[in-house]
Amino acid sequence: MKLKVKLIPFYVNDRIIAISENDAKEIGVRGGDRVRVSCGRKRVIAEVKVISGLVEQNECGLTKYLMELLEIEEEAVVEIFPVPKPESFNYIRKKIFGHKLTKDEIYAIIKDTVDGSLNEVELTAFVASNMLRSMDFDEIEWMTRAMIETGETITFERGIVVDKHSIGGVPGNKITLLIVPIVASSGLLIPKTASRAITSATGTADTFEVLADVNLTVDEIKEITERVGRVIAWGGATEIAPADDIIIRVEHPLSIDPKPQLLASVMAKKGSVGAKHVVIDIPVGKGSKVPGVEKGRELANDFVELGRRLGLNVRCALSYGGQPVGRAIGPALEAKEALKTLEERKGSSSLIEKSLGLAGILLEMSGKTSNGYEYAKEIFNSGKAYEKLKEIILAQGGEITKADDVPIGDKVYTLKATKEGAVEEVYNKNIVKIARTAGAPKDKGAGVYLHKKRGEVVKVGDPIITIYAEKEWKLDNAIDVALQEKPVEITGMILDAYPSYKYIGGR
Ligand SMILES: O=P(O)(O)OC[C@H]1O[C@H](OP(=O)(O)O)[C@H](O)[C@@H]1O
Ligand SMILES: Nc1ccnc(=O)[nH]1
Q: Residue 443's Cα: distance from chain center in Å?
A: 15
User: Does residue 23 register a pLDDT over 50?
Assistant: yes
Residue 387: partners with Cβ closer than 8 Å, 6 or more residues away:
181
What's the burial of 76, exposed, middle or buried (CB within 10 Å: 0-12/13-18/19+)?
A: middle
Q: Which atom of ligand 1 is nearest to the CA of 193?
A: 12
Q: Which atom of ligand 2 is nearest to the CA of 194?
A: 7
pLDDT for residue 371: 97
Q: Which atom of ligand 2 is nearest to the CA of 235?
A: 7
- 403: helix, strand or coil: helix
Instruction: Verify that 40 and 118 share a domain, yes or no.
Output: no
Instruction: Verify that 44 and 69 share a domain, yes or no.
Output: yes
Instruction: Verify that 482 and 372 share a domain, yes or no.
Output: no
pLDDT for residue 253: 86
Query: How many Å apart are CA 47 and CA 34, to the nearest integer?
Result: 5
User: Does residue 500 register a pLDDT over 60?
Assistant: no
Instruction: Verify that 79 and 92 share a domain, yes or no.
Output: no
Instruction: Verify that 113 and 15 share a domain, yes or no.
Output: no
pLDDT for residue 308: 97
User: Does residue 502 register a pLDDT over 70?
Assistant: no
CATH number at residue 55: 2.40.40.20
pLDDT for residue 495: 52
What rounded mean pLDDT belongs to the chain? 93
pLDDT for residue 238: 84
Calculate how far, in angstroms, residue 197's C-alpha sits from the geometric centre of ligand 2: 9
Annotated binding-site residue? 110: no
Specify which residues 128 forms β-bridges with.
Answer: none
CATH number at residue 180: 3.40.1030.10
Pocket of ligand 1 (CB under 6 A): 165-166, 168-169, 176, 194-195, 197-200, 203-205, 257
Query: How many Å apart are CA 230 and CA 482, to the nearest integer?
Result: 39
Name the percent of the chain lying above pLDDT 70: 96
List alpha helices for 214-320, DSSP H: 218-228, 242-254, 259-272, 293-310
Instruction: Verify that 54 and 110 share a domain, yes or no.
Output: no
For a pocket test of ligand 1, which of 165, 166, 208 has the largest count of ligand atoms closer than 8 A to its C-beta? 166
Query: How many Å apart are CA 239 and CA 257, to the nearest integer?
Result: 22
Pocket of ligand 2 (CB under 6 A): 167-168, 195, 198, 257, 261-262, 265-266
pLDDT tens digits, 155-175: 998 889 999 999 999 999 999
pLDDT for residue 12: 61
Instruction: Verify that 206 and 169 share a domain, yes or no.
Output: yes
Residue 176 lies in a domain: yes
User: Does residue 472 register a pLDDT over 90?
Assistant: yes
Residue 356: partners with Cβ closer than 8 Å, 6 or more residues away:
182, 373, 376, 377, 380
What value does the mean pLDDT take over residues 443-450? 98
Annotated binding-site residue? 169: yes
Out of 60-64, 115-119, 287-291, least confident range: 115-119
Ligand nearest to the CA of 173: 1
Residue 257 appears among annotated catalytic residues? yes
Closest protein CA for atom 6 of ligand 2: 266
pLDDT tens digits, 327-341: 999 999 999 999 999
Antiparallel, parallel or unpaired: β 2-7 and 77-83: antiparallel
- The pLDDT-based confidence of 493 (bands split at 50, 70, 90) is low
Q: How far is CA 445 from CA 253, 400, 461, 470, 471, in A?
A: 21, 14, 25, 6, 10
pLDDT for residue 458: 94
User: Does residue 362 register a pLDDT over 50?
Assistant: yes
- The pLDDT-based confidence of 11 (bands split at 50, 70, 90) is low
pLDDT tens digits, 375-429: 999 999 999 999 999 999 999 999 999 999 999 999 999 999 998 999 999 999 9
Ligand nearest to the CA of 325: 1
Query: How many Å apart are CA 88 and CA 111, to the nearest integer?
Result: 9
459 HSE (CA, 13 A, CB side) = 0
What value does the mean pLDDT take over residues 193-208? 94
Q: Which atom of ligand 1 is nearest to the CA of 204?
A: 18
pLDDT for residue 501: 43
Query: How many Å apart are CA 132 and CA 268, to the nearest integer?
Result: 22
> DSSP string covering 324-377, please?
-SSSEESHHHHHHHHHHHHHHT---HHHHHHHHHHHHHHHHHTTS-S-HHHHHH
For a pocket test of ligand 2, which of 166, 170, 195 has the largest count of ligand atoms closer than 8 A to its C-beta? 195
Residue 121 lies in a domain: yes
The total of structural domains in the chain comes to: 4
Catalytic annotation, pick one of 14, 244, 245, 257: 257
Annotated binding-site residue? 437: no
Element housing 448 (H / E): strand 447-450
CATH number at residue 432: 3.90.1170.30
Annotated binding-site residue? 198: yes
Calculate how far, in angstroms, residue 301's C-alpha sits from the geometric centre of ligand 1: 20
pLDDT for residue 220: 93
Whole domain around residue 354: which residue ranges? Answer: 162-236+267-404
User: Does residue 499 register a pLDDT over 60?
Assistant: no
For a pocket test of ligand 1, which of 204, 240, 245, 284 has the largest count of ligand atoms closer than 8 A to its C-beta? 204
User: Does residue 27 register a pLDDT over 80?
Assistant: yes
pLDDT tens digits, 109-153: 999 999 888 988 899 999 999 999 999 999 999 999 999 999 999
Q: What is the ipTM of this complex?
A: 0.95
pLDDT for residue 507: 33
Annotated binding-site residue? 265: yes
Q: End of a domain among 373, 404, 435?
A: 404
Rounded to 10°, the helix 372-382/176-185 angle is 100
